[in-house]
Amino acid sequence: MKYPNETIFLMASVMLMGILASAVPHLRSRSSLKPNSYWIASLVLATASYLSFAIAPHITLYLLTIANSLFLASYAYFALCCRSLNQPITQRLKVLIPSIVLVHGALFELIRQLGTFQMRVTWLVGTSMCFLVWEFVELLRITKINKSKQLQILKWTIALELLLATLRLSMILIEPTTTNIHLYEEPFMTASLRWAWFSLSVLSYITMTGFWTERLALESANIRNENAEINMLLTERDVLISDLVKTKKLVETGALSASLSHELMQPLLGIELNTSTLQQQLQNSNADASAIELLTFIQEDNKRASDIIVALRGIFTNTVNKYAVTNLDDFVKSTTSIYLHKAKQEKILIELDLNASTSVLINTGELQHVLMNLLGNAVNALMTQPTPNPRVLIQTLVDGRIAKIIITDNGPGVDEEAMPALFNLMSYSARGKGMGLGLWLSKFIVERHDGTLSHHDANHTGAVFTVTLPVHIAS
C-alpha cells in the first residue's frame, strides 16, 4: 500500500492548501472576527504533516517523526482555536502546547527506533485523542451560546473523529502485528480507519472555514444595517436642522406679521374714516349715485383687507379662531370679485361654476386669504407664461357631507421636481420669487377648518387645486 498511501497523503495536503488559499481573503480583513492565528497555525501544520507523510518514503523515514509531530501539533492548535472561541488563551497554555509537541516528537523518535509499530500508533493516537476530547468539550460549551450551524456540524465531526480514532486504536491493540512494520505497510482494515479519520479531519477544517465565513458575513450584514441607520440618522438630523431653521424663520415671520399688521391697520383705518366722510358729503350734496357706489366698493375692499390682516395675525399669534356660518357660493363669489378687474386687464377669463349653495363654518378672513392665494397663483402663472385663451375656472360642488372648491387653470402647471415639497414651509414659491409661505399657509388654514388642500395636474395643461370643507349641519 506504499504508493496509494503516498497519493492519498498528497491529495489531502493539496486539499488543505486549497482551504488555506480560500482563507487568505478572510485574513486580509480588518474585522475583529477574522480567522484567528491558532486555526491558521493548525491548518498550516496539518498541510505540512500530510505533505511530509507523502514524501517520507522517497527521502528518509526520519521524516515520519516530523510528520507525526506536525500532525499532533495541528490537533493541539485546533484545540486552542476551539478554546479561544470561549475565552482568551493564557500565556501558560501558549508555552505548554509547543513543549508538549516537542516532547511528543522526541519520544516518538525513540519509539520509532526501539519500539514496534503498535507502540508508535498507540502513542500517536492516544495523544491525538486527548486533544480531540478537549476540542469536543470546548465545542460543547460554545454551542450552548453560539447557535451557528457550522459549529454544530464541527462538534459532531470531531465526535466522529474521536470514534474512528478509538476504533483504530482498538483494532491495533486487539490484533498486534508480529513484525515491526511502518505506516506504509499497515494492514488494510486499520489503514481504512486511518483514512476515514483523516478525511473527517479535512472536513473539520472545511467546516471551520465555513464558520469564519459565516461570522464575517453576519458582521458585514450588521455593518450594512448600522450604516443604513447612521445614514437615516444623518438624514433626520439634516431634516431637523432644516425644520429648526424654518421654525426660526416662522417665528420671525410671526413677529414681522404682527408688526406689519399694526402698521397696515393704521392707514386702512384712515381709508375707512375718509371714505365714510366722503360718502356722507356726497350723499348730502346729491352727488352721482355711481360715485357713492364706488365708495361703497372701496369700503368693502378695505374691510376685506382688514379682515385678512387680522386673520393672518391671528394665525401667527395663536389667537382663538372666530368662525361664522357662511354660504359657500356667496363667499366664493364675493372673494373672486376682487380679482375680476385685474384678470380683465390681463385678458384672462375667470369663470364661475357654483353648485354648492350650502353652509360651511369658516373664518371668512382666513379662507379669503386661501382663495385669493390660489386664484392669485393661477392668474400670475397665466401672466408669466402667455397661454392661448388664458382661463381660470372656479367650481363649487357638494359631495355628501363635503363641500369642494376647485380652481383650474390652463397655464404651465407645477414643475414635477417641485411636487414633493409643494406644500412645505419655505420650500416652494408659486411665483418663483416669494418666501414659500403661500401654499403652506393655505394648507395650514384649510386644515384648521378640518378640511384638505390638494393639487394635481390638469392633463399636463395646467394646475388643479382642490379645497374640501365639511358641510355645516345645523344642530
Tens-of-pLDDT digits for all 475 residues of the chain? 457 778 888 898 999 898 888 777 666 666 555 667 888 899 999 999 999 988 888 888 888 899 999 999 999 999 999 998 888 889 999 999 999 999 999 998 898 888 888 888 899 999 999 999 999 999 999 888 888 888 899 999 999 999 999 998 888 888 765 456 777 777 888 888 888 888 899 999 888 888 888 877 777 787 788 888 888 888 887 777 766 666 655 555 555 555 555 556 566 666 766 677 776 766 667 666 666 666 776 776 776 666 666 666 666 555 656 788 999 999 999 888 877 777 888 888 889 999 888 899 998 878 888 888 888 888 888 888 777 888 899 999 999 899 999 999 888 888 777 776 777 765 555 544 444 457 877 888 888 889 999 988 766 678 899 999 999 887 6
Domain 2-232 has CATH 3.30.70: no
Q: What angle do CA 378, 379, 383 make, to 5 degrees?
A: 120
Q: Is the distance from CB of 127 to CB of 111 less than 8 angstroms? A: no
Look up cell 393672518; give the residue: 312
Contact 400, 364 (CB under 8 A): no
Query: CATH 1.20.1070 in the chain, residues?
Result: 2-232
Short-list 424, 425, 419, CA closest to 463? 419
In order of 54, 125, 271, 453, the CA distances from 44 in angstroms are 16, 20, 99, 73
Entry pTM: 0.52
Say what the pLDDT of residue 470 is.
93
Q: Are 342 and 379 in contact (CB under 8 A)?
A: yes
Every domain of the chain with CATH number 3.30.565.10 lies at 320-470
Q: How far apart are CA 197 and CA 189, in angstroms?
A: 13
Model pLDDT, residue 435: 43
Residue 285 in grid coordinates: 350734496
Q: Which helix (H) or strand (E) holds 396?
A: strand 391-399
pLDDT the model gives residue 46: 93
Q: Which CATH class is domain 320-470?
A: alpha beta
**326 strand-pairing partners:** 360
CA 450, CA 446: separation in Å to the nearest integer? 7
